[in-house]
Chain A
């Protein structure tokens, strides 16, 4: 395989996934074998808690090879001139990352601020982040939604909230 071929193989999503799955499976295999050998309570293989993880990891390695085979076939099919990396519509990565970050911050803030204030902040931040610019609407919706969720879950359904 020439340099271009190698590059396009490395940029192939299946190839990257194969490496990831292979590494995870190998790590699980080593971890399971080590713990089976060293833990006092594991006993024979037939009752060992690490029997199933070992089988899973072995299967995972086979799957990594299968993904690699898929990647090789895709790269060959794409040919030397075509770019093997798939290009779809550009995803809204900023919005997605902001959503995850806001959710993580919400989890950390909840025990400090209590449920309703933290929820108002969380919702308000996300409404703005997703493109809403009318402040009154953002405020009104955040307060109403947080209150409604508290009333429904905390009061009506008796769900314990942080």
Chain B
């Protein structure tokens, strides 16, 4: 409750609200235009806000994040192209509704229930962060290592069609994170004699390349440079009708928070899960699911926006990001010298409240922009990629350079951009690599610290893995790794199918 009150205090700080509003407007445009993503915008923002006071940076980033996740629904409804992966499920009912000339109604439902989901997720963050941080205070170096490993294993397993491909992406990310000055001994490692690499791979150019430049190359390569949006005609949508789904929406939001808190699962998984639950619990939808049921839009949008709060919980309390955007937000913290983790609520309380405050203000902007501006955006969705993509490419170059004022970083951005493009083309997800680049240093330092501490104990094995928290984390990590191995996964699926057939 205390956290909520502190967060609400930001509503009366004009500069904070203004920056959050600017971020929200940027999020609305970026999220709604296919080919531009919230991750890309956040990565670019890290470089721009590098010299800003941390709270100003967080206000802008939260505005982009909250509204950007919602605005993916715009192109999902109007173009049948999800602006963000989390909006894939919104296309199932949103686009058929728009085809029937009810795009306005679909957008209103999306805005209202994105707002409900976002507020629910942020409230969960405010309430749960402290208890989780209290548990995390008991963590030892090995626990941190295992937690990060668990995060990478789940991200690898959940974001790729092939488990191996997700883990390959994470492994390469770990390799990149090892380059530079070793944090323990202070000697250069894996720099191959290149002096510019002594400072390590800067996170910002890597993220801008993997999310921004790679996305531009993918759009150019696919030739998706033109799209035509459905037109919108204004219609009356009764508030009473709209709020009828509020009770269900809270349930979908809960799904979103839980899924969002799991590393790697994120918006798309939450939206699919909530949609399948909606099909089960809504007995009489306004139209059959998949043919324009507003209940489907409610499920998808509530769940994917609630993921925002969910994904921030492990990021702030354990320094393990829940998705790509929170991995980028984590780098905002690092850039500003802040260290998220169990002590963060004490040492960085002001930034925690700024995140909450920015999130809640972002929710208000989401509602305002979603109801008033979004229905007028169909023209902007028609901006041809021929003009948009070169400008985004230019922003990637500027963003990569702005961080350290080094052309070497622009080169790094291009390298990661091409790498990200090739990875996508061959079916490798970039999210595990992002998380690994951010978490690699922490994993390395904690592993060596844990082994050093255990080496002086009588029983090294029990010193490493003997504590209850460590055992739980080890079991979770092993379960996620072993459960993802293709033969094991196939055997589990066969067993499930046999069980379902018997029933």
Q: Which residues of A contact B (CB under 8 A)?
A: 13-14, 17, 21, 25, 28, 31, 35, 39, 41-43, 46-53, 55-56, 59-60, 63, 66-67, 69-70, 73, 89, 91-93, 95-96, 99-100, 103-104, 106-107, 110-111, 119, 122-123, 126-127, 130-132, 141, 145-146, 149, 153, 157-162
Q: Is the CB of B178 within 8 A of A53?
A: yes
Total CB contacts across the A-B interface at under 8 A: 159
Bound: A103/B391 CA distance, A: 11
Nearest-CB residue, chain A, relative to B164:
A66
Contact A123 B414 (CB under 8 A): no
Ordered by A's residue number, 19 sampled pairs between the chains whose C-beta atoms are within 8 Å are A21-B168, A39-B187, A43-B185, A47-B448, A51-B447, A52-B443, A53-B189, A56-B175, A59-B167, A63-B168, A66-B485, A67-B168, A91-B222, A96-B220, A96-B221, A96-B421, A107-B397, A127-B390, A130-B386
Proximity bits, B44-80, A CB within 8 Å = 1, else 0: 0001100100000000000000000000000000000
Interface residue? B208 (CB, 8 A): no
A130 CB, nearest partner CB in chain B, Å: 4
**Complex A-B, nearest 6 residue pairs according to Cβ-Cβ distance, in ascending order:** A126-B390, A49-B182, A66-B164, A52-B444, A91-B221, A159-B402
Q: Which residue on chain B has the smallest CB distance to residue A115?
A: B398
Point out which of B165, B167, B390, B486 has the most chain A C-beta atoms below 10 A from its C-beta.
B390
Shortest beta-carbon distance from A22 to chain B in Å: 11
Q: How far does the alpha carbon of A34 sit from the alpha carbon of B418 in the complex, in Å?
A: 30
Contacts of A14 in B (CB 8 A): 162
Q: Is the interface of B mostly helix, strand, loop or mixed?
A: helix
Is B393 engaged at the interface, CB distance under 8 Å to the other chain? yes
Min distance, Cβ A45 to any Cβ of chain B, angstroms: 8
| Nearest chain A CB to B488 CB, angstrom units | 12
- A51: chain B residues at CB < 8 Å are 447-448, 451
Determine the main DSSP class of A at the interface with B.
helix
Q: Using A70-B162, A91-B221, A103-B397 as known contacts, say yes or no to A28 and B387 having CB atoms under 8 A apart.
A: no
Interface size class of B (residues with CB under 8 A): 35 or more
Expressed in whole angstroms, the Cα–Cα distance for A66 and B410 within the complex equals 34
Verify A122–B394 contact, CB threshold 8 A: yes
Whether A52 contacts B447 in the complex (CB less than 8 A), given A91-B425, A100-B217, comes out as: yes
Contact string against A for B residues 425-436, beta-carbon threshold 8 Å, 1 for contact and 0 otherwise? 111000000000
Query: Do the beta carbons of B171 and A60 come within 8 Å of each other?
Result: yes
Supplied contacts A53-B178, A161-B398, 7 more A-B pairs, CB within 8 Å: A17-B165, A46-B452, A53-B189, A73-B486, A107-B407, A126-B390, A149-B395
Of B174, B187, B486, the residue contacting A49 (CB under 8 A) is: B187
Query: Residue B216 at the A interface, CB < 8 A?
Result: yes
- The 8 Å CB contact of B220, one of A67, A92, A145, is A92
Contact B402 A46 (CB under 8 A): no
Residue-wise, chain B 399-417 has the 8 Å CB interface mask toward A (1 for contact) of 0011001010011001001
Also in contact, A131 and B225, with CB within 8 A (given A99-B217, A123-B391, A149-B395): yes
A99 and B427 alpha carbons, distance in the complex (Å) = 21
Whether B164 lies near A70 (C-beta < 8 A) is: yes
Q: What residues of A have a CB within 8 angstroms of the CB of B448 in the complex?
A: 46-48, 51-52
Q: How far is the CA of A84 from the CA of B267 in the complex (A)?
A: 33
Contacts of B394 in A (CB 8 A): 119, 122-123, 145-146, 149
A106→B397 CA distance, assembly (Å): 9
For the complex, give the distance between the alpha carbons of A146 and B390 in Å. 11
> Residue B455 at the A interface, CB < 8 A?
yes
- B393–A63 CB distance below 8 A: no
- Separation in Å of the A102 CB from the closest CB of chain B? 8
A92-B221 contact given A56-B171, A104-B414, A149-B398, CB 8 Å threshold = yes
B333 CB, min distance to chain A CBs, angstroms: 20
Q: A100-B217, A159-B48 are in contact. Are A47 and B452 (CB under 8 A)?
A: yes
Closest to B408 in A: A107
Which of A70, A99, A103, A127 contacts B486, CB < 8 Å? A70
B97: CB under 8 A from chain A?
no
B168 touches A17 (CB 8 A): yes
Residues of chain B contacted by A39 (CB below 8 angstroms): 187
Question: Which residues of B lie under 8 Å from residue A126 when comparing CB positions?
Answer: 389-390, 393
Chain A residues contacting B314 (CB-CB under 8 Å) are none
Q: Cβ of B223 < 8 Å from any Cβ of A?
A: yes
Identify which of B187, B217, B389, B391 contacts A41 (C-beta below 8 A): B187
**Residues of A with C-beta under 8 A to B444:** 52
Contact A127 B48 (CB under 8 A): no
Given contacts A60-B171, A89-B222, A132-B387, contact A49 B217 (CB under 8 A): no
Determine which of A53, A89, A110 lies in contact with B407 in the assembled complex, contact meaning CB atoms within 8 Å: A110
CA distance A3 to B486 in the complex (A): 27
The residue on B at minimum CB distance from A154 is B398
CA distance A69 to B223 in the complex (A): 33
State whether A67 touches B164 (Cβ < 8 A): yes
* Shortest Cβ gap from A139 to chain B (Å): 13
Contact yes or no, A41 B185, CB < 8 A: yes
Contact residues, B261-287 vs A (CB, 8 A): none
Closest chain A residue, CB of each to CB of B192: A31
- Chain B CB count within 10 A is highest, among A48, A55, A126, for A126
